[in-house]
Chain A
Amino acid sequence: MTAPTADAPPPGLRMPGRRGTELALLAGAVLISVCGYIDVGLARQNAVPGDAASYGAGLAALALLGHLAVRFRAPYADPLLLPIAILLNGLGLLLIFRLDLETPVDRAAPTQLVWSALGVGLFAAVVLLLRDHRTLQRYAYVSVAAGLVLMVVPIFFPAVNGAKIWIRVAGFSFQPGEFAKILITVFFAAYLAANRNALAHTGKRMWKLQFPTGRVLGPVVAVWLVSVGVLVLERDLGTSLLFFGVFVVLLYVATGRTGWIAVGLLLAAAGAAAVGVLEPHVHSRVADWLHPFASITAGRGASQLAQSLFAFAAGGLLGTGLGEGHSALIGFAMKSDFILATYGEELGLTGLTALFLLYALLVARGYRAGLALRDPFGRLLAVGLASLLAVQVFVIAGGVMGLIPLTGMAMPFLAQGGSSVVTNWVIVALLIRVSDSARRPHPDAAEPGVVAAAGTDGARSGASAPPYEEDDMPYGYGYGGGEVEDNHHNHGNHDERGNHGNHGNHGNHDEYDHHDDQDSHR
């Protein structure tokens, strides 16, 4: 098809890879972590910890491994993603090492380092082996099936700390639900990329909202049922909230229909209300959130949430300094669900703000890749993974700080937990992959004659190039041969600008989008 508004970089201009920037930032990330490690040692034992060098070397080796993989197979990837991940992981190891000092018999940092190495290894493997994110689209239904299996398996294992989300084998325990997050996000992205038109443009209009028809509503209701099922059967409020949140965000991004938001919120509210009343575990969490100090008034001492709030309060603006807080008072789960309390107490509001901004930057970079990409699956995948991180940070940070009811969940990269850290490394690997695609100058775009057909774009730098036109896919692009329904919709419509004339309104939207896109890319 002809794409009159195609805008490609002028020939001869090379998109900078920014790998040098990434390396410098990585060095900074490792340095910050090592300084923190030394600080803990100085505060607690008045001496530089003996293994500071090996900790630094280990982290640097992981950083280098990740960097080499990116340099080799994703040279155009966003240079901020890997350093932020390394810094967060380094801070997490540091905090776990620091909390190990309070529990000399139960040392978690070495195990966490092994899991981190495994995570970075998996990161490198994904970056090296997954050459194009669109390959994943073919496995949409395989991945959702695998994801559901992973989520269901722990039901057959005994509950740990009130939630059935663990599998314990030979002393190792992991949460398969963590891996399921990625698989299910991949499915959401693929399903919505294929069905977004059907979801967006069919259905009844009621008052200002457009509601979808029953046929396309089916899978959505199924997802909702799975979320509630997870909640009831596994008593895992957090994961359920996470899935639902990401799904609603993706649904909105794919269709732009506020009706979906309304339906989503309605279903979520109904589900939450029902579960909140019927399920005692969830009910008590809500009660704790509303009255964190009830246990003190009742003479039973401070609850975990109260201890967590005390820890944050003790941190104040500047924090007590690493190693000098008393967050160990939280007791159980201080290294996992409540690790943010240690961070907040010892580094204060200042440190916490910096931490939230690091997460925000990671999320923003995911969104930016989503904006820059051309294929709907890639965009939804990028937005989905970024939202996954954002919602997860919100749910757990809001939980331990009394903003929302507490749900057991791991702070990405920071908290103790092997499955979580490995999963997050895979998420970053996928973000690296999509950002590489988003920023890669397309070889076919250098065709003379097509360049600067739209005058305004020609003046802009090569960096503004949309990397892919779906029609010029270099290799097999498709929806997996019938695995995804509504192929006919995509036929001819899958290029956004191809919508011209088909749906007047929609086409206009896309045109604006296109210009917006250029702006964002400067």
Chain B
Amino acid sequence: MNRYIRRASVFCLLLLVALLLNAARVQVFEAGHYDDDSANRRAALTRYSQPRGDILVDGEPVTGSRDSGGRLRYERTYAEGPLYAPVTGYASQVYGTSLLENAEDDVLSGTDPRLAAVPLWTDISREQQPGGDVVSTVVAAVQQAAFEGLGGKKGAVAAVQPRTGKILALVSTPSYDPNDLAGTEQSVADTWNRLNRSAGQPMINRALKQTYPPGSTFKVVTAAAALDHRKVTDIDAATDAPDPYTLPGTSTRLTNEAGGCANASLRHAFEVSCNTVFARLGVDVGLDGMVGTAEKFGFNDADLKIPSTAARSVFDTEMDDAQVALSAIGQYDTTATPLQMAMVAAAVANGGEVKTPYLVDKVTDAHGGTVAATRHKTLHRAMSRGTARRLQEMMTGVVTRGTGTGAAIDGATVGGKTGTAQHGVGNKGTPYAWFVSWAKKDGAADPAVAVAVVVEDAAADRADISGGGSAAPIARAVMRAALR
């Protein structure tokens, strides 16, 4: 009988081995798979078990945490929700996170391994790190000026520091209050549904995630291409551009709203925004040249992160000459985010170099110790120094005697470019009013700010919508705040 008892004991041993192998399978080999399952609520429970780190503007937190006492315990609060919503985004128990709350989630929720004092030990002890803070580059006064400038209008403002790429303001209106999305109550779902159904689309960050046809503001890019490709060598020499201009290979005649565009010099054409001159210059430079310059400014780049991903601004790469002509004046398929157009203005102000825009100055641990700091870096050189200098002259001219006089500021050099972008089927939609500009305090070494403003004000009369009328005063307010 002993032999059989031994064999039976081997059977029991096999059961044990099966259990142990299966335990290793579940707890080690497939654990990651189970941990990441959408129905596994552990990650959420851990995440909300401690206060979230804060987002700082001008050294002061614009966010906070509230102990709800519930299972998903700590809820997000926002000091000035609508004002900073395009910067912070929301952090919701139900709907996840967006923008900075999303991009810096690891730091804010404390899971970023860089926060651990002793990295390996924390892995073993599973000690939860308190959430770190995110110090943003936004300047409260600039943000405030942009938000108030847009007022009740639908639109967006992006402001950057040309020399570094720091984003000083990122505003989108109408906005929303992310306070209403934190928590687990029914009101959160109601708010979410209301915001998503709202005609004003308040949850879209227009400055970063929405593209618009840039209209005449794109002439900055076309001018840079023409100068760099030596299609124009003297900005004061007459071009032999006809008015009206018949688009190559078609019978479509392009006209101007301004006068004196036939054979106008580049400077004059820029100041009064002659479509005919720039359309023809675009064709002269050619598709490849235009694409090359546009891409150096940051167009066609789907990977720009600030750290949230910016929408891709487009300059089409496959076009015939007529389409190139229209694209050169910011129409046809050409679209840009307000941030992209702020980068265009910043490149001119910064002597031709485009800096990578960024929104996070540094991240710190809960005690304020710096974990990582962003160093500014050059994205591309968009044009030569000489071209940049000449463009600065022309943009200054727009503000002193051209279409953008509404943006002039005492005690500072201001350069700008207006734009009125047509859109919609047959260009029947209410046009978008654009203004891109930069400002340098008299006597200062570097320009303080570059701004792009877009107003898509459906309520206004079509004639009123011009970059100079609607958008330039907003840009002026933003620049004044930045110059202070």
Contacts and interface: CB of A to CB of B under 8 A. Distances in A.
A367 to B, nearest CB: 5
B39 to A, nearest CB: 4
A496 interface: yes
B20 interface: yes
A296 to B, nearest CB: 4
A386 B126 CA distance: 38
B45 interface: yes
A402 B126 contact: no
- Please provide the 8 A-B residue pairs with the shortest distance between their CB atoms, ordered closest to farther: A313-B34, A513-B2, A313-B31, A302-B39, A390-B12, A394-B15, A296-B39, A349-B27
Contacts of A256: 1, 3-4
A309 B39 CA distance: 12
A315 B28 CA distance: 9
| Interface residues of A, dominant DSSP | helix
Interface string B275-309: 00000000000000000000000000000000000
A109 interface: no
A317 to B, nearest CB: 6
B18 interface: yes
10 contacts: A249-B11, A253-B1, A254-B4, A296-B37, A306-B37, A310-B39, A329-B42, A356-B19, A394-B16, A402-B26
Contacts of A403: 18-19, 22
B22 A296 contact: no
Contacts of A326: 41-42, 45-46
A387 B12 contact: yes
Given A309-B34, A312-B26, A313-B34, A356 B20 contact: yes
A348 B26 CA distance: 11
B7 A252 contact: yes
B124 interface: yes
Nearest to B124: A318
Contact of A301 (B28, B34, B39): B39
A296 B38 contact: yes
Given A296-B38, A363-B12, A401-B22, 6 more contacts: A256-B3, A359-B16, A387-B8, A403-B18, A510-B1, A516-B3
| Interface residues of B, dominant DSSP | helix
A320 B123 CA distance: 11
B48 to A, nearest CB: 12
B22 A516 contact: no
Most buried by A among B1, B13, B39, B126: B1
A53 to B, nearest CB: 28
B28 A317 contact: yes
A312 B37 contact: no
Given A256-B4, A394-B19, A403-B18, A313 B12 contact: no
Nearest to A344: B27
Given A313-B34, A356-B20, A394-B18, A252 B8 contact: yes
A360 B23 contact: no
Given A313-B27, A513-B1, A398 B19 contact: yes
Given A312-B27, A348-B27, A394-B19, A371 B5 contact: yes
B105 to A, nearest CB: 20
Most buried by A among B12, B19, B27, B31: B27
Interface of B: 1-9, 11-13, 15-16, 18-20, 22-24, 26-28, 30-35, 37-42, 45-46, 124, 126
Contacts of A516: 2-3, 6
Nearest to A311: B42
Nearest to B3: A513
Contacts of A393: 15, 19
Interface in A155-213: none
Interface string A372-392: 000010010001001100110
Nearest to B45: A326
A300 to B, nearest CB: 9
A352 B19 CA distance: 10
Contacts of A139: none
A502 to B, nearest CB: 16
Contacts of B45: 326
B27 A253 contact: no
Interface in A467-500: 496
Contacts of B3: 256, 509, 512-513, 516
A397 B23 CA distance: 9
A321 interface: yes
Contacts of A100: none
A321 B12 contact: no
A255 B1 CA distance: 8
A115 interface: no
A344 B34 CA distance: 14
A409 interface: no
B23 A316 contact: no
B35 A314 contact: yes
A314 B1 contact: no
